[in-house]
Structure 1
Amino acid sequence: MVCCTLPMVFLLPSWVQAGTKQVSSGAYTPPAYEALPLGAVKPMGWLRNQLRIMRNGSSGHLDEVYAKVKNDNGWLGGQGDGWEETPYWLDGALPLAYLLDDKPLQEKVLKYVNWTLEHQRPSGYFGPVTKAEREKNATIDPAHATEGEDWWPKMVMLKVLQQYYSATADQRVIRFMTNYFRYQLNALEVAPIGKWTEWAASRGPDNVLMAQWLYGITHDASLLQLAERIEQQSFPWTTWMGNRDWVISTATYDDKYLWMRRHGVNVGMGLKAPAVTYQRTGNKQLLKDQYTGWQDLMTIHGLPMGIFSADEDLNGNEPIQGVELCAIVEAMYSLENIIAITGDVRYMDALEKMTFNALPTQTTDDYNNKQYFQVANQVQISRGIFSFSLPFDRQMNNVLGARSGYTCCLANMHQGWTKFASQLWYAAPDNGLAALSYAPSQVTAKVGKDSTAVTITETTQYPFGDQISFSIALKKETAFPLQLRIPSWCDEAEVLINGKTLRKDKGGQLISISRSWKNKDQLVLRLPMRITTTVWGKNSRAVERGPLVYALKLHERWEKGHEEHEGDYFSVYPEEPWNYGLLHKDIKDPAAGMKVSVQKPVDDHFIWNLAHAPIEITVQAKQIPAWQAIEGVAYQPAVDREGIYKGRVDEKVKEITLVPYGCTKVRIVAFPVVP
């Protein structure tokens, strides 16, 4: 593995050194790829600008503008928020601080980290002061675990601490987590994982993941015992993902019973369970179960932008369905861990599609407002009940606001871009590096048998452009393998070194280039992108090119409103017709009937909006007069088995423009097909 740029020596507490049984590997399977220390990957170009926007917006200032986090915070010793929202925010704000090397933001988030580390109870329990401690001066230890409080928010804070350790190698984290997991192993007999809430029982894989991460460092066998116990007490996602009964039931029932197993955010977190269990057990059947579950989920509930419906429950694959922002960022986190554990390129493709399409559309340009639910075919953003599985009385689920819908997404949305940016590169076997997702960035690590420092600068307009350039900086010639992902959508990639073609490779695989690299070597990866069409719910069709999905370009009218309980918000309406169907001949041969044009370069000031959309696709279409919104919902027209609409269609053919889905707010992405 690549030698990390930070020291990884750790000190175990005396109780571990004194006699806890150690194991070296057993059935435990190390991850296929090791994450690099936080800060080893530096975002550049448009991605760095995205993170700066977040830093200047709510990601960097939530504690100043959001009363629940701001006032008397429980994670700083107060009596305010002591549950999930503060750890949610830190789960994105902390990596943001280190990705941007932003000292003021680091100081801000470290107040919470240090308070947490410094106020661990002697037993190992941690978190805000509990009601029992405050009112009864209770002591929380394994025998009195019921005097503690919910396991769930601690799972999120463990993720925060893991990232802090990755950035700093602060040995306090190892001692802290070792003591906490010792406490938890015994306390679960008194206070099972679902003692306080079903949220903890449904989200156990996040707890398991952290215990197994620590095992990878300390090799303390009790951590695997703890991981197994948590899994036994949690929702059986590993079983559900493989046996198909679960995903069938999610498409059958939509009542109040067993809704937690259909809840989209829970599903996003549970998604990684088979891979996490495989890591602990080495059972390769679980890798098959992992893919079965993912494929079934996306077949029954998948939407064109690469995410499953989750508004709030899983809600089928019709393009009128929505998805909660929390579900997107949690599914991304699950995919990132599945990728590291399995090294399976299919999840890398899935992660990029989700990131570059579903994620950017759901927040405003300044990253201060978000949609609780976005809709695939979203012909207006407004108050209403739409076709969501959980419509709220105040009808604020769809609007763009800081506090619209539940505020969990306001706190949780920050982890999406930050974790994606930090995991563009991984340490690879044989002292190499792997570029598994692509975006402008720079990575510094140690490679080769002599642990030579290398810096690789990745320059690209990807995902809009098809060329990725890598510049190698070394003090001496060094042999190491460099792995590159060839996406499944790419028919044939070309690799050039110093201007000369080295190889050509088919899509859907990882390639390894092992050579002695010299300072100033230049590697170029070309990933030709062609236009394709894909089939979605109600036999609708989406236009795709490379990792991006394209949606109808509609000029937008924004209106500001105010709701007494949820504050200011924005509605967005189209200023032109949207009810178009694509011509059948162009669906059959999109390369002949659809034209790609580059509108503007993707520079360091790029923002995901219409004004900055760098690529457009023009295509012929006809309007469908009867296709009209009903209470803001563009119910899909009925089509025949070939997907062709049989109702009246305007005879006049019009040229329409498509832009990347992530640049839109109102749009059609899943089109009917007309003769």
Structure 2
Amino acid sequence: MKKYTSLLLAGFVFIGGITVAQDKLSRAKSEIIGGFIGERLSNSYKNRILLQDADELIEPFKHRNETSLWQSEFWGKWFTSAVLAYKYQPTPELKQKLNAAVSGLIATQSADGYIGNYTKESRLKQWDIWGRKYCMLGLLDYYSLTGDKKSLKAAREVADNLMDDIKKADGIIVTKGNYRGMAASSVLEPICLLYTQTNDKKYLDFAEEIVRQWETAEGPHLISKADIDVARRFPKPENWYSFEQGQKAYEMMSCYEGLLELYRLTGKPAYNTAVEKTWQNIRDKEINNAGSGASAEMWFGGKTLQADPIFHYQETCVTVTWIKLCHQLFRLTGEAKYADAVEQSYYNALLGSTSHDGFHWAKYTPLSGLRLPGSGQCGMNLNCCVASGPRGLFNLPAHMVMKAADGLFINYFTEGNYLLTTPSGKNVSIAQHTDYPATGKVGITIKLLKPEDFNINIRIPKWSSKNVLTVNGVAVKEVISGQFASIKRNWKDGDEIALELDMRGRVEFIGDKPQYAAVMRGPVLLARDEALNGLSLGTIVNLAGKAGYVDLEAVPHSPESTWLQFRLKFSPESYKEQGDEPITVDLCDYASAGNGKKATYFQTWFPQLIDPKKGH
């Protein structure tokens, strides 16, 4: 009995004799998000989700003449985005579009269960299994949303056909497709979800077999190499985009998402440990100050190189999958570091890869340079990142305010209302009043019918050094940056929580000769856009700041041009005996920089003067 109790406390339960790992956090009953984030969600909903021609995405499945490309992923990426959007804001218009998209896809399914666009001779090659994965993910999302048995049946038949095809070949999945089998074996995720919905053991067995094959000579060694830098697990291949490439960022993280689903089903510590170690390595060695990474779609040890010009930097598919992986781990553990990582990525890399109207999504986004448009892929009018971007955008609402066994978690800060249930099952409403991150002030009102004892946990971002947290005007003690402040009390209707975070401008440095500096404010990376007021900074400026902080003055601006804008004084190079007075320049949030109707040059890392008097 003691062992059983300890497992429950650790997030494990016994089902059918199997130890299952349970998520610590679950979604609220509903979310209504306002402010800037609410506007971005609304724009994407109207201009990307609803405007997408689903028939165009289904068309390749009707012809089955493909031998190497990846058109079959686009339907699943858009559809899973649309399901997230519908869960956030259910409307009859979107529901009708989802219904038609599912029935249209299922209509292409052959008698053997196959849904795909590859020729008979080319099945299992290149991106065929990858495309089947996205079809299953979409069908299973629809079943989870509606309970429609036709979609579950179709997903089962896709899985059964895949398993049969692999068996008839040689039984090995990791030699199929690209990137050391990571693209093909990332099908682990929907296979695990299918087992969750059906309890059919053959799917669990197939999932375990996929993971076993990872550790064979030909596999990606995703568990055994979890202690090795993600950029150094395999030798650099002769052909960058080839089977031998073992550093593919997006596909690697997709496999780890599947491994976490298998961990939920089995409770095997090795699975979770491999993901956590890899996540930490990515965070430490790859993720830049905009919250993403990867060059030409591969891990490359890029964190220390981020001030340099980088080829094909920050693929949007990488950004989206990083956010999804972080939230997978966050739901399991409730650890603040995963939410910190999402916040940084969401406000910078993700929002920086989309247009304000939500229609366009970039393929790559540099930290300095120009935001350049991507192109269509596979003979279609969109590419992988246009299809995938909204999956990251609509991933956030489900994680804003969440429920735990002993109370609530307030994870992100936006104007909005969130309906949940207390530990006793009573409705509780959380109302946030804030313009964060324009300022660091967050007001939270608790609404419930009867008083109740439970915890409310509020994330204190790691970047915030000075924090003030009060309940009904009384200060909360032990508020620690990078952790959740846990407040346990008898909550009553109308109770007020106030949080004030440290929004001073922070200077971050990188490199030696030359050294570069960047300015962060809250979770937001600031940039110099040539369209803003002030002189061009060039390479001859030093930041004027003390103890790593600089004074930023909010600047009135047109919301059509930028979201956040600040004025900052820099110390310029001078050849006068007494030097020159500091110059004033305007900076804006990275997501807005160069992201207007006209492409303009922007810069986030500023080269610092080499001064031998200061040890350089």
What TM-score, normalized by structure 1, do the two folds share?
0.73
Select the residue among 516, 520, 530 that pairs with 1:540: 516
Give yes or no for contact 2:230–2:281 (8 Å, CA) kept in 1. no
1:247 corresponds in structure 2 to 231
Give the secondary-structure state (helix, strand or coil) at the position aligned to 1:110.
helix
1:595 corresponds in structure 2 to 551
Distance 1:237 1:425 in 2: 36
Cα shift at 1:425 = 2.9
Q: CA RMSD of the aligned region, Å?
A: 4.0
Q: Structure 1 pair 215/468, CA: closer, same or farther in 2 (3 Å)? A: farther
Distance 2:126 2:235 in 1: 37
Please tell me whether residue 611 in structure 1 is matched to residue 571 in structure 2. Answer: no
Give yes or no for contact 2:354–2:361 (8 Å, CA) kept in 1. yes
Q: Structure 1 pair 177/472, CA: closer, same or farther in 2 (3 Å)? A: farther
Give the secondary-structure state (helix, strand or coil) at the position aligned to 2:292.
coil
Cα shift at 1:149 = 9.0
Distance 2:566 2:192 in 1: 45
Q: Structure 1 pair 97/509, CA: closer, same or farther in 2 (3 Å)? A: same
Which one-letter code corresponds to 1:31 in the other structure? D
2:33 corresponds in structure 1 to 43
Give yes or no for contact 1:263–1:314 (8 Å, CA) kept in 2. yes
Which one-letter code corresponds to 1:52 in the other structure? S
Which one-letter code corresponds to 2:341 in the other structure? A
- CA-to-partner distance for each residue in 1:109-158, whole Å, 9 max, x for gaps? 221123446776676x35257755xxx9xxxxxxxx97999221232233
Please tell me whether residue 313 in structure 1 is matched to residue 298 in structure 2. Answer: yes
2:16 corresponds in structure 1 to 24
1:482 corresponds in structure 2 to 456
Select the residue among 181, 188, 191 that pairs with 1:208: 188
Please tell me whether residue 349 in structure 1 is matched to residue 329 in structure 2. Answer: no
Cα shift at 1:206 = 4.6
Select the residue among 444, 447, 455 that pairs with 2:419: 444
Cα shift at 1:56 = 3.0
2:488 corresponds in structure 1 to 514
1:416 corresponds in structure 2 to 392
Give the secondary-structure state (helix, strand or coil) at the position aligned to 1:657.
strand
2:99 corresponds in structure 1 to 110
2:42 corresponds in structure 1 to 52
Distance 1:112 1:181 in 2: 20
Moved more, 432-441 or 211-220: 211-220
User: After superposition, where does 1:360-375 map in structure 2 within 5 Å?
Assistant: 360-375=351-366
Q: Structure 1 pair 581/96, CA: closer, same or farther in 2 (3 Å)? A: farther
Q: Structure 1 pair 84/218, CA: closer, same or farther in 2 (3 Å)? A: closer
Distance 1:46 1:82 in 2: 33
- CA-to-partner distance for each residue in 1:241-283, whole Å, 9 max, x for gaps? 6231652257966753656422332244345466455445534
Distance 2:39 2:57 in 1: 30
Moved more, 206-215 or 344-353: 206-215
1:579 corresponds in structure 2 to 538
1:560 corresponds in structure 2 to none
Distance 2:464 2:271 in 1: 28
User: After superposition, where does 1:452-467 map in structure 2 within 5 Å?
Assistant: 452-467=426-441
Give the secondary-structure state (helix, strand or coil) at the position aligned to 2:23.
coil
Give yes or no for contact 1:621–1:656 (8 Å, CA) kept in 2. no
Which one-letter code corresponds to 1:266 in the other structure? E
Cα shift at 1:223 = 3.8
Distance 2:567 2:325 in 1: 32
Select the residue among 188, 193, 197 that pairs with 2:177: 197
Which one-letter code corresponds to 1:89 in the other structure? W
Q: Structure 1 pair 296/200, CA: closer, same or farther in 2 (3 Å)? A: closer
User: After superposition, where does 1:420-439 map in structure 2 within 5 Å?
Assistant: 420-430=396-406, 432-439=407-414
Cα shift at 1:418 = 0.8
Cα shift at 1:375 = 0.9
Distance 2:273 2:292 in 1: 20
1:261 corresponds in structure 2 to 246
Distance 1:367 1:169 in 2: 30
Q: Extract unaligned runs of 5+ from structure 2.
A: 1-13, 595-600, 612-616
Please tell me whether residue 228 in structure 1 is matched to residue 208 in structure 2. Answer: yes
1:297 corresponds in structure 2 to 282
Distance 1:207 1:427 in 2: 29
Distance 2:315 2:251 in 1: 11
Give yes or no for contact 1:42–1:441 (8 Å, CA) kept in 2. yes
2:59 corresponds in structure 1 to 73
Which one-letter code corresponds to 2:326 in the other structure? L
Distance 2:417 2:106 in 1: 31
Distance 1:180 1:23 in 2: 27
Q: Structure 1 pair 198/107, CA: closer, same or farther in 2 (3 Å)? A: same
Cα shift at 1:405 = 11
Cα shift at 1:446 = 2.8
Select the residue among 507, 525, 529 that pairs with 2:503: 529
Please tell me whether residue 668 in structure 1 is matched to residue 603 in structure 2. Answer: yes
Give yes or no for contact 1:241–1:292 (8 Å, CA) kept in 2. no
Cα shift at 1:612 = 3.0
Cα shift at 1:620 = 0.9
Distance 2:412 2:186 in 1: 23
Moved more, 544-553 or 478-487: 478-487
Cα shift at 1:314 = 3.1
Identity %: 18
User: After superposition, where does 1:81-96 map in structure 2 within 5 Å?
Assistant: 83-96=72-85
Q: Structure 1 pair 122/406, CA: closer, same or farther in 2 (3 Å)? A: closer
- CA-to-partner distance for each residue in 1:497-516, whole Å, 9 max, x for gaps? 23333444111222333334
Q: Greater RCO between the two (CA within 8 Å, min separation 6)?
A: 1
1:5 corresponds in structure 2 to none
Q: Structure 1 pair 288/86, CA: closer, same or farther in 2 (3 Å)? A: closer
Moved more, 484-493 or 326-335: 484-493
Distance 2:384 2:198 in 1: 33
Give yes or no for contact 1:370–1:401 (8 Å, CA) kept in 2. no
Q: Structure 1 pair 624/426, CA: closer, same or farther in 2 (3 Å)? A: farther
Which one-letter code corresponds to 2:21 in the other structure? T
Distance 1:510 1:623 in 2: 44
Q: Structure 1 pair 212/503, CA: closer, same or farther in 2 (3 Å)? A: farther
1:551 corresponds in structure 2 to 527
Q: Structure 1 pair 72/279, CA: closer, same or farther in 2 (3 Å)? A: closer
Cα shift at 1:96 = 1.9
Cα shift at 1:412 = 1.7
Q: Structure 1 pair 311/82, CA: closer, same or farther in 2 (3 Å)? A: closer
2:3 corresponds in structure 1 to none
Distance 1:147 1:584 in 2: 53
